[in-house]
Chains A and B, each alone.
Chain A
Amino acid sequence: MNTNKNTEAQRLTFAEKLYLPELAKGMSITFREMFKPKFTRQYPEQRWDPTGSYRGRPVLVLEEGKERCVACGLCSLVCPAMAIEVQAAETENEKERYPEKFEINMLRCIYCGFCEEVCPEEAIVMSKDYELLFSSQKDAIYGKDRLLVPVEQLQDRLDFLKEYK
């Protein structure tokens, strides 16, 4: 037995129950809006260029052909979604440590930007890239090949960090 005595249908007034006046009301809004200026972006023909403050997918900064990252593993530690895996190894460079493997599981990433905030080398930053496509779970794990981005392309974000971080 239905004991619910106060359903949506029971709360309607008589005018509302007639339906036609409500239809007219709705259509009037529709027609009014048709002649107002449009805000919809015709994506993907028309793309949006985010500002430096936008947190798109995290990327590694590539500077002078080398990654800035020293594989300290702090991003991996701070990542609340555990998206990042870092495996360090030794190099002959002055900074003797570099990431042999750096993988971000983009299915896990929640774009919080903690990795960028904790990074002592400003080596991982949030990019403007918001278009992420993958066809399988494996495909969603980004390695160094897809993560390294030349520093010139990330200047907006680096300037933003300089000012606000």
Chain B
Amino acid sequence: MPHIVIDGTRIETSPDKTIIQAATENGINISHFCWHPELSVSGNCRMCLVEIGLPKRLADGSFDKDSDGKPVIGFFPKLQIACSTQVSEGMHINTKTDKVIKAQESVMEFLLINHPLDCPICDEAGQCKLQEYEYRHSNGQSRFEEEKNHKEKRVKWSNEIFYDGERCISCSRCIRFAREVAKQDVLAFVNRGDKVTIKVSEGKEFNNDYSMNVIDICPVGALTSGDFRFSSRVWDMSFNDSICPGCARGCNIKIGSRANKVLRVEPRNNMFVNKYWMCDYGRLSWYENINECRINEPQIRVNGSYEDCSWDQAVDAAYQGLKKYQPNEIMFIGSAYSSNEDNFLLKKFAKKIIKTNNIDFQKYSKDGFEDNKLKVNDTTPNTNGLTEIGVAPDQNGYKINDIAKKIAVGQLKAVYILDDSLGQFPELLESFAKAEFIIVHASNKSKLTEIANVVFATSTFAECEGTFVNFEKRVQHFKPALISNENISTMGAKMDRLEKFGSHNDRWSLRNIHNSRQSWRIIMQLANKFGAAWTYKSSSNVFDEITDQIQSLSGMSYKLLDEYQGLVLGKAGSPDKKVIAYQSYTMKPN
């Protein structure tokens, strides 16, 4: 293992690494635009120029030592780029000497010659690498007095990607992403010198399933998202960690929201799950459901029409309804869209309180959805979690496929559904309509909520805390990203400033805070009505009980899950090695 010294800090690394890789892995930041850990090295931005030196050797091959016995370092007269220079034993790297700083200033000055000063208009402002380095590495002066270059603006690469040639600094990250990760090699540089610009091949669109990742990796505002364009300034938003519910991969994401509306979803680094990427489907498909068509209050059906009611009334209605039936006349349906905590308490409620074996859940599979990158056919985030918890009928309990038959013959009279997405299945819906009593935990209005007797307003995953188990059996913890009536007291620093400081007479604070609750809390309230004395205070209490009872999850806790970016089932004792997450930009002001 060679050791290198960066600015006096000694680092052990392996010989196949470049300087910038070794530095990043050890938490040292070397300024760069074009380098990205998952893309090939192109070395064209020249921002990572550093001073490199090797120990001097004497004629006999031994190292030259000074009077203190330390090796004498001979520095190269010219600066080298850290992203394509491989490390070697005893290498000394200076990133903060005058020579390096002067080089960085010059690079910045060159980049800014033709870069327009339109930060007020640019969507990237606030999370722009160029802006950040302008503060850190530029002398703040430009000697360029001539007219700036004009290039094509607002070029549509696809419906979702807009390209602005003037803002582009030609780092080629998008070109390399298209070629190496998205495998749709349609981007290329055209023209030369200061006329250089990026174009999509004639007659083609850059529109594959992963194309929107180029917007994230673009260090400047040259690529903007058609979906998000001009919706909000990034400093007005809060970016909270979460897990994508779009498929069983469970990509780590950040939910960008303002005034409790999701405006943007972007990937978060997790080398064990999604690396730095996520698919466009996950980015665009589900977040509208969190913003729109929500059920704000619990509802009960009175004489055929729905009325908003208080939580106590709704729970009471559910209690009165369920009480009328024999245990084996009630069916519980868990949900692979809900967390382990919700499903665990549902199972506990069914088996311990109601004492029925009728519990199952619907599996989803979208054929042809899978590719060999991130997407998988199972479009629910937590199928493995439900299997592990055991949301399944045992002995003579009814399966989900039996429902239609059993309702038709009158053996099944009441249904308790943890999820509103079952409304997509017309045949299930038809048979539910024949049941006498239906309780639904629903976050969105759907056909299912139109036939239910009691509708519990449920928080979406973005407002809950819990865990999902992805298709590779990695347990991942997610925390609330949005505000609901239930979690508002704990969200504090995770709110954006508009939410935090709004008062009733501000129009911007007329936000939609839903009076929704996490499913497990509703189930607990209902169970206590039945005489159970459950005292879970937070999701972690429920999770602790899960880890106690389910062998494969034992030893896990939210703290450990956060620390190791998720743990694989049954391997809580031997987690994957921690890696330092590479962040492409720092949010300013943060």
A interface residue numbers (CB < 8 A to B): 70-74, 76-77, 82, 85, 87-90, 95-97, 103, 105, 107-108, 120-121, 137-138, 140-141
Contact = CB atoms under 8 A, between A and B. Distances in A.
Nearest to B164: A96
B562 to A, nearest CB: 31
Contacts of B508: 85, 103
Nearest to B497: A82
24 contacts: A70-B120, A70-B121, A71-B230, A72-B120, A72-B121, A72-B125, A73-B235, A76-B233, A76-B236, A82-B506, A85-B498, A85-B508, A88-B231, A89-B230, A90-B230, A96-B121, A96-B153, A96-B154, A97-B120, A97-B230, A103-B507, A105-B506, A105-B507, A141-B506
B230 A88 contact: yes
Given A88-B230, A103-B507, A95 B497 contact: no
Given A72-B120, A72-B121, 12 more contacts: A70-B120, A71-B230, A76-B233, A85-B508, A87-B232, A88-B233, A89-B230, A95-B118, A97-B120, A97-B121, A121-B120, A141-B505
A74 B230 contact: no
B7 to A, nearest CB: 35
B76 interface: no
Contacts of B235: 73, 77
Contact of A107 (B120, B236, B505): B505
Interface string B231-244: 11101100000000
A90 B120 contact: no
B501 interface: yes
A74 B501 CA distance: 17
A80 B154 CA distance: 35
Contacts of A82: 497-498, 501, 506
Nearest to B589: A77
A36 to B, nearest CB: 46
Contacts of B498: 82, 85
A66 to B, nearest CB: 14
Contacts of A107: 505
B180 to A, nearest CB: 31
Given A70-B120, A88-B230, A90-B230, A137 B501 contact: no
B269 to A, nearest CB: 28
A90 B121 CA distance: 10
Nearest to A107: B505
Contacts of A87: 232
A141 B121 contact: no
Contact of B505 (A73, A74, A105): A105
B233 A77 contact: yes
B165 to A, nearest CB: 14
Contacts of A120: 119-120
A120 B231 CA distance: 20
Contacts of B179: none
Contacts of A72: 119-121, 125, 233
What 7 A-B pairs have minimum CB-CB distances, sorted nearest first? A72-B120, A137-B505, A73-B233, A88-B230, A85-B508, A97-B121, A120-B120
Contacts of A90: 229-230
Nearest to B258: A87
Contacts of B232: 87-88
Nearest to B233: A73
Of B229, B235, B505, most buried by chain A (CB within 10 Å of CB) is B505
B236 A73 contact: yes
Contacts of B233: 72-73, 76-77, 88
Given A82-B501, A95-B121, A141 B230 contact: no
A136 to B, nearest CB: 9
Contacts of B229: 90
B507 A85 contact: yes
Contacts of B506: 82, 85, 105, 108, 141
Nearest to A105: B506
B246 to A, nearest CB: 27
Contacts of A137: 505
Of B118, B498, B501, most buried by chain A (CB within 10 Å of CB) is B118
Nearest to A82: B501
Contacts of A77: 233, 235-236
Contact of A74 (B120, B153, B231): B120
Nearest to B505: A137
Nearest to A143: B507
B148 to A, nearest CB: 14
A132 to B, nearest CB: 15
A94 to B, nearest CB: 9
A108 B508 CA distance: 13
Interface string B114-156: 0000111100010000000000000000000000000001100
Contacts of A95: 118, 121
A135 to B, nearest CB: 14
Of A82, A120, A140, most buried by chain B (CB within 10 Å of CB) is A82
A141 B154 CA distance: 34
A16 B507 CA distance: 58
Contacts of A105: 505-507
Of A88, A108, A137, most buried by chain B (CB within 10 Å of CB) is A88
B197 to A, nearest CB: 18
A132 B154 CA distance: 42
Interface in B468-515: 497-498, 501, 505-508
A89 B501 CA distance: 24
Nearest to A86: B233
A89 B123 CA distance: 11
B588 to A, nearest CB: 12
A161 B409 CA distance: 83
A63 B232 CA distance: 25
A138 B119 CA distance: 33
B233 to A, nearest CB: 4
A155 to B, nearest CB: 23
B177 to A, nearest CB: 25
Interface string B314-358: 000000000000000000000000000000000000000000000
Contacts of B501: 82
A85 B501 CA distance: 13
A155 B231 CA distance: 32
B290 to A, nearest CB: 20
B97 to A, nearest CB: 35
B121 to A, nearest CB: 5
